[in-house]
A and B are shown apart, each in its own frame.
Chain A
Amino acid sequence: MSRIARRFAELKAEGRGALMPFIEAYDPDPATSMALLRGLPGAGADLIELGVPFTDPMADGPTVQGAGQRALKAGGSLAGALAMVRDFRREDEDTPIVLMGYLNPILAYGIDRFCLDASSSGVDGLIVVDLPPEEADELAIPARAQLLDMIRLVAPTTDEARLPKVLAGTSGFIYYVAITGVTGTHSAAKDTLATAIPRVRKFTDLPIAIGFGVRTPQQAAEAVQVADGAVVASALIDTLARSLDEQGRAKPDTVRKVLDQVRDLAEAVRGARVAA
């Protein structure tokens, strides 16, 4: 059983949903980013999404764009993100890590070499934003051979005719994009999600995580009441960005501030089903 499947099975047994924080590798510098990554499981992260910086993140709003720019300035790359996962795995064998990013850095790295290195570094799944199922084979086939889960995005615009095609090659979990829009802009209404998630559920037994616009503990709690996981990205990156000094450098309390916020989110996620 893969690390992702095992984690969702455990959470199901506990009767609760997953908190999945997102951080951008190398934002704002390698050491701070690594300290955040190491601290996330202790703060209550059930799975972790690690963003791979890219110059042209077309699905991201200003917050994640800013994270990417800081990360690139700090020397961030796909190779750097893989190295972070390797370091993380020396201490944590259980928390699943999903790399999230865009296709071109993977192409430049070399698809086969990437899948091999990602797998041996301890990466569990891939979310490649600009790789729809129609184009996915060249990455999905070698990724599957290395037992990496290919996690697909399902959007509000993905209709029922298209859903089976999107779900066909998906493994690990489904990432439901809650809004039509880029990251960090607005949030979906609770009622909208309450209709949208069961519609996807009809077509799959995989866990469903909700992302895009999940910012507050309350929104995270609402997300796991209808779905199996909540992804929080921009809200955490905003906290990180606000904690930096004028030169954009981390301050001594940067890591603590972000992890405190993860704790609040985790508490809400863990209490959600009980309260419901």
Chain B
Amino acid sequence: MNKPLPNTLRQGPDGRGRFGQFGGRYVAETLMPVIQEVEKAYNEARNDPAFMAEWRRLLKDYVGRPSPLWLCERLTEHLGGAKVYFKREELNHTGAHKINAVLGQIMLAKRMGKPRIIAETGAGQHGVATATACALFGLKCVVYMGATDVERQQPNVFRMKLLGAEVIPVTSGAGTLKDSMNEAMRDWVANVADTYYCIGTVAGPAPFPQMVRDFQCVIGEETKQQILLAEGRLPDALVCAVGGGSSAMGLFHPFLDDADVAIYGVEAAGRGIDTGEHAAAIAGGQPGVLHGNRTYLLQDAHGQIQEAHSISAGLDYPGIGPEHSWLHEIGRVNYVSVTDQEALDAFQLCSRLEGIIPALESAHGLAHVLKLAPTMDKDKIIVLNLSGRGDKDIFTVARHLGETL
């Protein structure tokens, strides 16, 4: 089961929802039937040209796709090495890549006849995207958000409310993304008949890691076309921040079989991997089972899950999508990490040099580009997935810079 086909790394998951040893469906029996129902409905939908055409129409006319591929001339000049491009997912409607997969999933929920949608959210980007799609489709929306995150992401909380969603603060655990995912799972168990759980990342029980990936692959597919048009060749490196890893998987997956493209997933090192206060599941974790899938997790020797820490609410999660765990184990993607401080520095540099205020999540990816680009020749090309805009983070950043708004 660990052997990918020799000519492609894009075949997974297998029939059991696994990527190598990772993935699977580790959920309570109550949820198994609905998860199989989601899988069946998704397999039908993705083979239905009308469904996919409607999704593409929404991406074009509602989200504003394709998102541009921007050559960062000032940043490139500043770094003095490889040419840096941004894939501008922050220009999507709702300000991040999340909407790509949300629209697909909400269309699926509608097709399955589920009138009530639940979602978990960390930074609030997925919650906002879900609330948006539910408003568009006239569905009831309940978003679980850790109480800590509600506090540090106020603008997004208010956005969700404006969009008609109910935001439920989760106080269990540390009140972050992990806990809101637990609570969303509990809601789903209790309301399985009329509810669809719109998972925000490439994690959770199969088929979610695959389904969210498939929808997010629009990022990498567009990037491929755009870079061929701009440069006549593929990039030398792709970089993206990884929490659960949906923006990263969306960019990476269409390039997995292009062996000359180096790929970097950037985990959040928080206050430093050595301090234990980080969110780097691959750098500092072990394989285990949480939230329906087997993957790398931050845990202690007894298998208890540890709290993650990151300045970025969207990366503040102790796990990572199972396909990332597999890509790490087979060595196709290099997983590196970046501290809170490095991300803050990149956040400010990006704002000043490119006139783009990036999400703190995306600033983690950028911080690695700042290290990588100067080591590469000027004729090399890096594409960074600028997965979200930073408006939601200005309060957090201001606080760290000692300013009051």
- Which positions in A face B, CB cutoff 8 Å? 53-62, 65, 72, 77-79, 102-109, 129-132, 134-135, 152-159, 162, 166, 177, 180-182, 185
Q: Which of B31, B302, B304 gathers the greatest number of chain A CB atoms within 10 Å?
A: B302
Q: Are A159 and B33 in contact (CB under 8 A)?
A: yes
List the B side residues contacting A156 at CB < 8 Å: 30
Known: A157-B192, A181-B189. A107 touches B28 (CB 8 A): no
Which of B192, B291, B300, B303 contacts A107 (CB under 8 A)? B303
The 4 closest A-B pairs by CB, nearest first: A108-B303, A105-B303, A181-B190, A155-B30
Q: Are A79 and B302 in contact (CB under 8 A)?
A: yes
Q: Are A182 and B190 in contact (CB under 8 A)?
A: yes
- Which positions in B face A, CB cutoff 8 Å? 16, 24-34, 172-173, 178, 182, 185-186, 189-193, 286-292, 297, 299-305
What are 24 A-B pairs at a CB distance below 8 A?
A: A58-B28, A58-B186, A62-B172, A72-B304, A102-B289, A103-B26, A104-B288, A104-B299, A104-B304, A104-B305, A105-B303, A107-B288, A130-B27, A132-B25, A132-B28, A134-B24, A135-B16, A154-B29, A157-B29, A157-B31, A158-B32, A180-B192, A180-B193, A182-B186
Q: Are B303 and A109 in contact (CB under 8 A)?
A: yes
Known: A56-B182, A104-B303. A182 touches B33 (CB 8 A): no
Number of CB contacts from chain A to chain B under 8 A = 121
Known A-B contacts: A107-B288, A153-B30, A159-B33. Give 5 more (CB < 8 A).
A57-B182, A109-B303, A132-B32, A154-B29, A155-B30
- Which residue of chain B lies nearest to A131 when distances are taken between CB atoms in the complex? B26
List the A side residues contacting B192 at CB < 8 Å: 157, 180
Which of A65, A103, A154, A155 contacts B289 (CB under 8 A)? A103
List the A side residues contacting B191 at CB < 8 Å: 180
CA gap between A129 and B193 in the complex, in Å? 20
CA gap between A4 and B292 in the complex, in Å? 30
Q: Which of A53, A54, A61, A157 gathers the greatest number of chain B CB atoms within 10 Å?
A: A157
- Which residue of chain A lies nearest to B16 when distances are taken between CB atoms in the complex? A134
Q: Are A134 and B25 in contact (CB under 8 A)?
A: yes
Q: Are A108 and B29 in contact (CB under 8 A)?
A: no
Q: Are B302 and A77 in contact (CB under 8 A)?
A: yes
CA gap between A79 and B302 in the complex, in Å? 8
CA gap between A156 and B31 in the complex, in Å? 10
- Which residue of chain B lies nearest to A61 when distances are taken between CB atoms in the complex? B186
- Which residue of chain A lies nearest to B300 when distances are taken between CB atoms in the complex? A108
Q: Are A132 and B189 in contact (CB under 8 A)?
A: no
Q: Are A177 and B288 in contact (CB under 8 A)?
A: no
Known: A104-B305, A108-B301, A181-B189. A162 touches B28 (CB 8 A): no
CA gap between A56 and B288 in the complex, in Å? 13
Q: Are A153 and B28 in contact (CB under 8 A)?
A: yes
Interchain nearest-CB distance for A128 vs B (Å): 9
Q: Are A130 and B302 in contact (CB under 8 A)?
A: no
Which of A105, A106, A131, A134 contacts B304 (CB under 8 A)? A105
List the B side residues contacting A65 at CB < 8 Å: 172
CA gap between A135 and B26 in the complex, in Å? 7
Q: Are A157 and B190 in contact (CB under 8 A)?
A: no
Q: Are B30 and A177 in contact (CB under 8 A)?
A: yes
List the A side residues contacting B30 at CB < 8 Å: 59, 153, 155-157, 177, 180
Known: A107-B288, A109-B303, A130-B27. A56 touches B178 (CB 8 A): yes
List the B side residues contacting A180 at CB < 8 Å: 30, 189-193
Q: Are B302 and A157 in contact (CB under 8 A)?
A: no
CA gap between A103 and B304 in the complex, in Å? 11
Q: Are B304 and A130 in contact (CB under 8 A)?
A: no
